[in-house]
Amino acid sequence: MTLFGLQWASPLALYLLPLLVLPWFTRTQDKTIVWSKFVPVDPLSNIIGFAFKTLASIVLACLILSLAGPYLPEKKVDRIGEGAEVVVLVDRSRSMDDAFAIKGQLLMASVGKSDSKRRVAKKYLQEFIDKRPDDRFGFVLFSDKALDLLPLTYNKETIRATVDASALGKGLSETNIAKALIKAAEMYQGQTYRGSRIVVLVSDGGQEFTEEAKQKIAELYKQQNLTLYWLYMRSVTGMTLDAKPGDNERWTTTPERKLHTFFKSIGIPYLPFEIGSMKSFSEAIATIDKQQYQTLIVEETLPREDKAKVFLIIAMLAMFLLMLAQMYTAWGVRKAHQ
Amino acid sequence: MSENKKRQDEFSYRYPHKVYGSLPGVHHGKSLGTGDSFAGFSDLFDYPDPRRLDLRASIRSNMATGRDNYLVKRFQQRSPITLWMMADLSRSMSISNVNHEQLAKLTQLVAHSAIGFGDRFGLAGFDSGLRHDVHLMPTRQRSMPMLAADMIREAGPANSAGIDGLIHAAHMVTSRHAIVFLVSDFCCDIDVLDKALIQLSRYTVVPVVWQHDDVNHLPSYAGWTEMCDSETGQRRSLWMRPSIKKRWQQTMDEHFDQLKACFMRHRVRPLFTDGDVTGEQLTNYFLGRN
């Protein structure tokens, strides 16, 4: 049922509304006095009396209306925002539990403590999410299997909770980036194109893909018009993704470099970040943040909104006034009887 | 309390004027008969009462007039009066401390004292009209105090609002000499009272003003107060605050000042009481001591 532009959960309660007249008819506090001629005539009292009765009626009305359960139904609103659609791929492999950006001996580092790569990644991802209110996020955690923890959603609470949860526990042994990348691309499949689409890959290692996987990834990413960011949290100091003259010989064949070469070869917008310190991590995040501001249509679902609270608050305020008056009255009566 | 049960409280009073009547009583009378106040001489031939012979006066008279008469002393006889109780039975007289029970007690006290003194007692109840169920013609019956009190105790509530019966009740007082106890809270128009007092001007009127507690006039000093008039049932509501209380007090004081002025005009001294009227109080009143 619709009334005052609100939906009513139990409109039957509205049949109680005639009770509003009660305060105008009950006279429970009547005191018999000897002669009413002694009682002064006071127009202000009439106004106050009228106000009290109105307040009492308002209280009743609000209580009855709140009983009737007013609510605004759930609705979807399209609005234009700025941002992007982001799928975050986080490596869940065991190496991510290692401490991040340590100088010196790797073996001395703590494992799975607050300075682990996963924790650090979590912290900066949270920041990133907070900075971008209009973005739509998806979240994939991967080791040897890709877990699409969160399909694309606008719900910030859910995203934050998912990112939080991703940093719990210990990592698994295997890493399968290819599967994760395909999963991420699949998340965009079947979605209407709203704005720029980003895949943020957070990992600390690379992997060589099979030809089949490479082909599929290239095809999917082009088709879905995706932008790829790779936050490479490197564990070996000194190694860069791009080959440089004077590089260590062994580095040329590392999976990281191979992966980097592959990404470059697909022909999609791609940007790697080699992250060696906290600072560079935040810079990387800031860069992504800056780059990806496009107008996009944001579909927002406004949840069913319970409006009973408003009525209850009004009733409470009115009741509070009445209570004050009542206390003053009680004091007055007590004083008169002393 | 136990003593009260044993012996009915009573008061003594004097009627200020001389009473004319053939019956013997206690108040100063005007008619000649057996008594203690001298009222002149008379011829023994006209009043053959040799016990009252005054030889000295007779000789003096005979020597002066040369006649041969015997004089007897004449005295004024003491005579009875009537005590009327005019009882206000209107609705405002049945609120908390002012109630029919108290009224009945007072009635019994007055009736007991009157009949014990050899006077007669009459009762006239009134509210908006004359109350025929609370009415006694003057009588000297010994059982009357209890009967009169019960009559008031059993009196039903007033049929309608007002105190207009006061004038009718005043008309009922037809005795030649009477002290009229007018018992009311006097929360009424002074005009009505004025008329009644004019009607009763022949008599000695003793207004017993029963004062209500302030709470029954105004039940609250502060806040929201809903009231209903005891007489008319008219409803009033007020947001009580100091200024209103002041105005109320003023109105009330004005009314009672007017009431006192009215009594003063009619040369009547009121007896103010807040409930119990004792014999001592009334005795003091008649002695002019309160």
Which CATH number characterizes residue A110's domain?
Answer: 3.40.50.410
CB contact under 8 A, A37 and B95: no
Are A192 and A231 found together in one domain? yes
CB contact under 8 A, B230 and A33: yes
Rounded percentage of chain B residues whose pLDDT exceeds 90: 37
Q: What is the DSSP string of A211-258?
A: HHHHHHHHHHHHHHTEEEEEEEE-SSTT--SS--TT--GGGGG-HHHH
Are A108 and A236 found together in one domain? yes
* 3-state SS assignment for residue A198: strand
Question: What is the pLDDT, as a whole number, of residue B36?
Answer: 83
Q: Are A158 and A150 in contact (CB under 8 A)?
A: yes
Summarised one tens digit per residue, pLDDT across range B49-105 is 899 899 999 999 999 998 888 999 999 888 899 999 999 888 888 776 667 888 898
Q: What is the DSSP string of chain B?
A: -HHHHHS--------SS-B--SS--SB-BSSEES-SEEEEEEETTTS--GGGB-HHHHHHHHHHH-----EEEEEEPPB--EEEEEEE-SGGGGBTTB-HHHHHHHHHHHHHHHHHTT-EEEEEEESSSEEEEEEEEEE--TTHHHHHHHHHHTPPPPSSS--THHHHHHHH---SSEEEEEEE---S-HHHHHHHHHHTTTSEEEEEEEPPPHHHH-S-SSEEEEEEETTT--EEEEEE-HHHHHHHHHHHHHHHHHHHHHHHHTT---EEESS---HHHHHHHHTT--
Question: What is the pLDDT, as a whole number, of residue A113?
Answer: 57
Is the pLDDT at A105 greater than 50, yes or no?
A: no
Measured between CA atoms, the residue of chain A closest to residue B244 is: A40
CB contact under 8 A, A40 and B238: yes
Tokens representing residue A136 in the block: 């739509």
Domain ranges of chain B: 32-76, 82-286
Q: Number of structural domains, chain A?
A: 2
Are A56 and A101 found together in one domain? no
For residue B212, list chain A residues with Cβ-Cβ distance below 8 A. 34
Are A37 and A12 found together in one domain? yes
Computed over every residue of chain A, the mean pLDDT equals 79
Question: What is the pLDDT, as a whole number, of residue B2?
Answer: 47
Computed over every residue of chain B, the mean pLDDT equals 87
Are A61 and A159 found together in one domain? no
CATH fold group of domain B82-286: Rossmann fold (3.40.50)
Are A41 and A14 found together in one domain? yes
Is the pLDDT at B29 greater than 80, yes or no?
A: yes
Are A33 and A14 found together in one domain? yes
Question: What is the pLDDT, as a whole number, of residue A81?
Answer: 73
CB contact under 8 A, B217 and A38: yes
Q: Are A304 and A72 in contact (CB under 8 A)?
A: yes
* pLDDT greater at residue A181 or residue B6: A181
Summarised one tens digit per residue, pLDDT across range A230-254 is 888 776 665 667 766 666 666 667 7
Summarised one tens digit per residue, pLDDT across range A252-294 is 677 777 888 888 888 888 888 877 777 777 777 777 777 766 6
pLDDT, average across residues A85-93? 81
Are A113 and A220 found together in one domain? yes
Q: What is the DSSP string of A78-99?
A: EEEEEE-EEEEEEE-BGGGGBB
Question: What is the pLDDT, as a whole number, of residue A235?
Answer: 63
Least confident of A53-62, A148-157, A164-173, B230-239: A164-173
Question: What is the pLDDT, as a whole number, of residue B8?
Answer: 82
For residue B210, list chain A residues with Cβ-Cβ distance below 8 A. none
Tokens representing residue B121 in the block: 């007692």
Question: What is the pLDDT, as a whole number, of residue B258?
Answer: 94
pLDDT, average across residues A183-210? 79
Give the residue from B229, B253, B255, B274 with the most A CB atoms within 10 Å of its CB, the best one to mutate: B229
Is the pLDDT at A70 greater than 80, yes or no?
A: yes
- A180 Cβ contact list (under 8 Å, min separation 6): A89, A140, A142, A146, A201
Rounded percentage of chain B residues whose pLDDT exceeds 70: 97
Chain A neighbours among B 207-236 (CB < 8 Å)? 212, 214-232, 234-236
Question: What is the pLDDT, as a whole number, of residue B266?
Answer: 92
Domain range for A26 is 2-73+304-337
Rounded percentage of chain A residues whose pLDDT exceeds 90: 10
Closest chain B C-alpha to A326 CA, distance in angstroms: 7
Q: Are A89 and A201 in contact (CB under 8 A)?
A: yes
Are A90 and A11 found together in one domain? no
Tokens representing residue A186 in the block: 């699949």
Are A81 and A179 found together in one domain? yes
Is the pLDDT at B124 greater than 80, yes or no?
A: yes
For residue A30, list chain B residues with Cβ-Cβ distance below 8 A. 226-228, 235
For residue B215, list chain A residues with Cβ-Cβ distance below 8 A. 336-337
Is the pLDDT at A13 greater than 50, yes or no?
A: yes
Q: Is B238 on the interface with A (CB under 8 A)?
A: yes
Closest chain A C-alpha to B237 CA, distance in angstroms: 7
Q: Report d(CA B262, CA B259) in Å as an integer.
A: 5
Summarised one tens digit per residue, pLDDT across range A126-139 is 888 887 777 788 88
- Chain center to CA of A301: 13
Question: What is the pLDDT, as a whole number, of residue B250?
Answer: 92
Question: What is the pLDDT, as a whole number, of residue B98?
Answer: 64
Is the pLDDT at B24 greater than 90, yes or no?
A: no
Q: Is B119 on the interface with A (CB under 8 A)?
A: no
Question: What is the pLDDT, as a whole number, of residue A319?
Answer: 94
Confidence of residue A104 (pLDDT cuts 50, 70, 90): very low
Question: What is the pLDDT, as a whole number, of residue B206?
Answer: 92
pLDDT, average across residues A193-215? 80
pLDDT, average across residues B24-41? 86
For residue B246, list chain A residues with Cβ-Cβ distance below 8 A. none
Q: What is the DSSP string of B143-197?
A: THHHHHHHHHHTPPPPSSS--THHHHHHHH---SSEEEEEEE---S-HHHHHHHH
Are A102 and A186 found together in one domain? yes
Give the residue from A27, A35, A335 with the most B CB atoms within 10 Å of its CB, the best one to mutate: A35
Are A24 and A136 found together in one domain? no
Question: What is the pLDDT, as a whole number, of residue B194?
Answer: 92
